[in-house]
């Protein structure tokens, strides 16, 4: 074993043993040379090796930090196997009952769908918003009607261009959050009684939107790390009159799965052959943990079939309710749906976020946010390993802020939800992510909130409730 490999092994042991904890900074190359009496090239090679193993990460102008991709002691859940056939939805009352429980700020928000608002530059955004209100042009009440503020759409088009996607500002429609965007897309390509494909498990908001529009759904199996099954989707398209697919390809809610770049291209080609549009809920794409962003599906969309829905709610501006649809061939239809549904998105907010993007700083914020979420993920995984009983299975995400767990078969997460609430802890039980209320012993946990003694105590209590 060479000297750099020996140094890497020693450092890895310190990470695994918890001496070096997630988020802690490693000695600089200069200090490591002095401590270990080795050359700079030895330290650099050792750090590169640790980085390739996912244990540490380089942060620009800051050095190397422990990333600690732990969780090796926990097996991974397998591919889901939803019951076949289409389903008429009756889920809203059930979901609302669960969601009402997570609004209380005194409850530890492990079941929340939102990251901590303290992770975002809300003070800075507030100054941009105040400035936009002060210099508000009355003509903007007309000019910024759908598809939306021209400068904001141009800034979004530039971000797509940086991802290798040639998206015209004319096909971008500004919406009041991603939820409105999803509804507009569904309304543009379906009618009541139509069948759409969703992954299983899936984000409950998509189920609610589909139910409201009178749609039927067919659930496509999904792997908790690799995402929707292409073979199952191929079979479903062959045998069912599917009008659209509603998928999350990047860090899906609730599993955190990511469809690989290769499979993403194959998926888009499959849908092109069948001329079936893809409604992609892509709100977590900016929250990747590695050095490389996932492939943007719009970069591979040659025929305009992809309607990519996103927003700033999860990456920059929670509460501002500003999203968009890169709508491809459906831009005109979605623009008309927007006009008839809500007329316009709040114009000063559009102006403020356009100015923020134009002035820069968004990328620096995103780098810090990604590093913070990666650290918080490692911390929550360590708590699961420490407190949860044998038989727990865990899917490790490559981004986002959710963990998907499969608990021992005897655990009913709906009952667990009620018991946890009585102790001031919210969780998201598995059945709310299924049209047929499957996944009775699964749950989703949110790691988008900073580590604290309160959070650790909640995980200890939750582990005790599961074991009992």
State the Cα–Cα distance between residues 128 and 121, nearest whole angstrom: 11
Q: What is the pLDDT of residues 93-144, one digit of tens each?
A: 667 766 776 678 889 999 999 999 999 999 999 999 999 999 999 999 999 9
pLDDT at 432 over 70: yes
pLDDT at 90 over 70: no
Percent share of the chain, pLDDT over 70: 94
Q: Residue 296: its pLDDT value, please?
A: 98
State the Cα–Cα distance between residues 374 and 359, nearest whole angstrom: 27
Q: Residue 254: its pLDDT value, please?
A: 97
Q: Residue 290: its pLDDT value, please?
A: 75
Mean per-residue pLDDT for 11-16?
A: 85
Among 322-326, 368-372, 405-409, name the one with the lowest average pLDDT.
368-372
pLDDT at 92 over 90: no
Q: What is the pLDDT of residues 233-271, one digit of tens each?
A: 999 999 999 999 999 999 999 999 999 999 999 999 999
Q: Does residue 48 come out as left (phi exceeding 0), alpha (psi in the -120 to 50 range) or beta?
A: alpha
């Amino acid at each position: 074993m060479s000297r750099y490999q020996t140094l890497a092994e020693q450092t890895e042991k310190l990470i695994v043993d918890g001496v070096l904890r997630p988020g802690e900074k490693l000695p600089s190359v200069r200090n490591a040379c002095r401590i270990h009496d080795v050359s700079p090239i030895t330290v650099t090679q050792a750090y590169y090796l640790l980085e390739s193993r996912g244990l540490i990460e380089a942060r620009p102008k800051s050095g190397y930090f422990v990333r600690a991709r732990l969780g090796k002691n926990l097996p991974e859940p397998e591919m889901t196997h939803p019951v076949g056939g289409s389903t008429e939805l009756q889920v809203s009352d059930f979901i609302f009952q669960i969601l009402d429980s997570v609004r209380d700020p005194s409850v530890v928000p492990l079941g929340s769908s939102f990251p901590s608002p303290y992770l975002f530059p809300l003070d800075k955004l507030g100054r941009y918003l105040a400035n936009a209100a002060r210099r508000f042009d009355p003509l903007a009440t007309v000019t910024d009607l759908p598809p939306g503020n021209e400068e904001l759409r141009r800034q979004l088009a530039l971000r797509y261009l940086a991802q290798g996607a040639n998206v015209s500002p004319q096909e971008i429609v500004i919406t009041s959050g991603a939820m409105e965007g999803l509804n507009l897309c569904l309304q543009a390509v379906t009618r009541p009684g139509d069948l759409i494909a969703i992954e299983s498990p899936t984000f409950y908001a998509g189920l609610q939107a589909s139910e409201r529009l009178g749609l039927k759904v067919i659930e496509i199996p999904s792997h908790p790390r690799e995402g929707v099954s292409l073979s199952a989707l191929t079979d479903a398209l062959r045998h069912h009159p599917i009008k659209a697919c509603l998928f999350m390809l990047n860090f899906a809610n609730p599993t955190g799965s990511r469809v690989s770049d290769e499979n993403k291209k194959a998926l888009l080609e499959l849908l092109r052959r069948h001329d079936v549009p893809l409604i992609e809920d892509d709100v977590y794409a900016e929250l990747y943990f590695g050095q490389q962003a996932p492939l943007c599906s719009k970069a591979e969309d040659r025929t305009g079939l992809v309607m990519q829905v996103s927003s700033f709610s999860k990456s920059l501006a929670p509460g501002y309710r500003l999203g968009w649809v890169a709508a491809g061939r459906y831009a005109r239809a979605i623009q008309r749906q927007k006009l008839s549904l809500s007329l316009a998105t709040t114009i000063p907010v559009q102006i403020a976020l356009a100015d923020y993007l134009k002035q820069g700083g968004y990328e620096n914020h995103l780098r810090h946010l990604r590093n913070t979420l990666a650290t918080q993920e490692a911390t929550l995984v360590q708590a699961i390993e420490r407190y949860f009983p044998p038989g727990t299975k865990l899917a490790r995400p490559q981004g986002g802020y959710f963990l998907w767990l499969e608990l021992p078969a005897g655990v009913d997460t709906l009952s667990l939800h009620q018991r946890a609430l009585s102790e001031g802890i919210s969780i998201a039980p598995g059945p709310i992510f299924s049209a047929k209320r499957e996944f009775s012993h699964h749950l989703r946990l949110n790691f988008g909130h900073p580590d604290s003694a309160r959070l650790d105590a909640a995980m200890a209590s939750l582990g005790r409730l599961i074991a009992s």
